[in-house]
Amino acid sequence: MTTRRSLDEDEVGKRLLAIFQEVLQVDGAGLDDRIPDLAGNSMSIIKVAVAIEAEFGSEVPLEMFLQTPSARQVAAAVIGAGPSKVTR
């Protein structure tokens, strides 16, 4: 029998950093580093949001990307959104 456990913020955050690296070309960022300001760049926001939905099955509030959140803050939102894939 396989036990599914929820991922914590660090684990989700690391996977988010990979998304940020691919979509936003953010290299070498840590969990608590803020992402670039995406105000006025709504297409980047939807690309990140679509990648998050594909990775975790979670739909996060898009407004948060206008506040230059850290990967850890986005991770909390992903977990808080009741994701279907935030388990392993």
Partner 1 sequence: MERPDIYIASVGTALPGDPVDNATLVRRFRLPAVWEQWIDAFVGTRSRHFSMDLDTGRTLHTLADLGEAAGRRALDTAGVPVEDIDLVVMASASPDMLMPATVNVIADRLGINGVPTYQLQSGCTGAVQALDVACQMMLSGRHQTVLVIGGDSCAKHLDLGMNLADMSPHMQVNVMLFGDGAGAAVLTTRALADTPVLRRVFTRLQGRGREPGQIVRWYGLADRETPGEPVTEDFKAIENSAPGMAAEALHDLLADLDWKKEELDYILPPQLSGRMTRRVLDHLDVPGAEEISRVEEIGNTVNAIPFFQLEQILPDMVPGERAIGISVEASKWIKAGYAVEKPASKLEVR
Task: Using CB under 8 A, list all residues that contact partner 1.
Answer: 40, 42-43, 45-46, 49-50, 52-54, 59-63
Shortest distance (Å) from residue 32 CB to partner 1: 24
User: Which residue, 28 or 40, has its beta carbon nearer to partner 1?
Assistant: 40
Shortest distance (Å) from residue 43 CB to partner 1: 5
Shortest distance (Å) from residue 3 CB to partner 1: 29
User: Which residue, 32 or 39, has its beta carbon nearer to partner 1?
Assistant: 39
d(CA 86, CA 88): 7
User: Which residue, 18 or 62, has its beta carbon nearer to partner 1?
Assistant: 62
Angle at which helices 42-56 and 9-24 cross, to 10°: 140
